[in-house]
Copies of this chain bind each other. A is one copy, B any other.
Amino acid sequence: MATIKDVARVAGVSVASVSRVLNNGPKVSKATIEKVTRVMQELNYSPNANARALVTQKSTTLGVVIPNLVDPFFASLAQGVEQVARQKNMQLLLSTGLVSAETEMQAINLLIERRCEVMVIHSKKLSDQALIALANQVPGLVLIDRYIEAIAQRCIWLDNLEGGRIAARHFLALAHKNVACISSKYQIDDPRLRLQGFQSELLSAGVDIEPELIAYGEPTLQGGEIAVQKLLASGKSFSALFVYNDAMAIGAISALEDNGFKVPSEISVLGFDDVLLSRYSRPKLSTLNYPVEEMAIHAASIGIDLASKQPKNTANINCKYIPSLVKRESTSFNLT
């Protein structure tokens, strides 16, 4: 593969000149630009990004660390980051397959080795401490979907507590008194906060959830189906069901209908996340929109700013997002 030296030799100029036309630098005559450009095409020259990165000390690379890509939630996240990468002429380095704190750390370390200047990290396994240390080491590191007090201005997160409250208010507005809830069996912050917000808001309106009407399951379609079985097995009746995420909610609707319950006329079901699925289900799922792509774009932008020499936004940037209710077809007024 042709190098800058080859181009310089053939064009009869110094490598400095070639470098200058490559970077639209000053101090090159029009004639030289043309000549060099022509030779570059002739030799099919492609500048070596690794050499460039080495000497300029910047890799023009944007890293994303997510658990996987098949979950449309994370795909949207990655897509958002990619979008700003492309716009800023940077390239995306993607790591997935994170199952433990160790693999997460490993993925991040690989990005550091590549001298990736900005990184958007979705980590649920690494400790606050570890992430704070990392953040101090990598100026362009931003956390998404996680809040850590000590590095608050580097966190882009969704207010899950408020999400739960919004869900509760929706059900209250629809006159539901007997409500049930399906949460994730993985008791990380998200499900806990959603449930907490939901419960507390209901309670302050005088509505209590019976303990038998809270079920936990895998955050998947099947998990939702199974969780509904549990709820029904309790023998308690309910007219509204708040589910941890859309996949579970769709599974829940399936199971409810299989058991002869009509959604939403007999039971209203509300999901969370507003992923693609929710628009494809029947009835179309009412849910809470998690603006993940927008948040990812925001995170990447902050990361780029932070990684630059003089970051502008030191504080007072809004890092907290509030989910919004998307009323579709799976929730309706309680007529019982």
Closest to A92 in B: B94
Chain B residues with Cβ below 8 Å from A83 are 97
Could you say which of A35-43, A73-81, A172-180, A188-196 contacts chain B? A73-81
Is the pair B44, A50 in contact by a Cβ cutoff of 8 Å? no
A82 with B54: in contact, given A46-B109, A280-B281 (CB under 8 Å)? no
Chain B residues with Cβ below 8 Å from A230 are none
Chain B residues with Cβ below 8 Å from A137 are 44
A32 within 8 A of B: no
Count of this chain's copies in the oligomeric assembly: 2
A95 within 8 A of B: yes
Could you say which of A111-119, A152-160, A297-305 contacts chain B? A111-119
* Chain A, interface SS category: helix
Is the pair A48, B82 in contact by a Cβ cutoff of 8 Å? no
Is the pair A68, B79 in contact by a Cβ cutoff of 8 Å? yes
Which of B79, B113, B254 contacts A69, CB < 8 Å? B79
Give chain B nearest CB distance to A290 CB in angstroms: 14
Distance between Cα atoms of A250 and B247 in the complex (Å): 16
A282 within 8 A of B: yes
Chain B residues with Cβ below 8 Å from A46 are 109, 112-113
A221 within 8 A of B: yes
Is the pair A280, B110 in contact by a Cβ cutoff of 8 Å? no
Closest to A293 in B: B70
A91 within 8 A of B: yes
Is the pair B91, A92 in contact by a Cβ cutoff of 8 Å? no
Is the pair A281, B281 in contact by a Cβ cutoff of 8 Å? yes
Distance between Cα atoms of A78 and B112 in the complex (Å): 22
Distance between Cα atoms of A68 and B86 in the complex (Å): 12
Chain B residues with Cβ below 8 Å from A130 are none
A53 within 8 A of B: yes
Chain B residues with Cβ below 8 Å from A254 are 282
Closest to A68 in B: B79
Q: 19 interchain pairs (CB within 8 A)?
A: A44-B137, A46-B109, A48-B54, A48-B115, A49-B115, A50-B51, A50-B53, A50-B54, A50-B114, A50-B115, A70-B72, A70-B79, A78-B94, A86-B95, A92-B93, A93-B93, A247-B280, A277-B280, A280-B281
Q: 8 nearest interchain CB pairs? A: A50-B53, A69-B79, A49-B113, A75-B75, A92-B94, A49-B114, A69-B75, A50-B50
- Known contacts A277-B280, A281-B281; 11 further A-B pairs (Cβ under 8 A): A48-B113, A49-B110, A50-B59, A69-B75, A75-B75, A78-B94, A82-B95, A83-B97, A91-B110, A94-B94, A247-B280
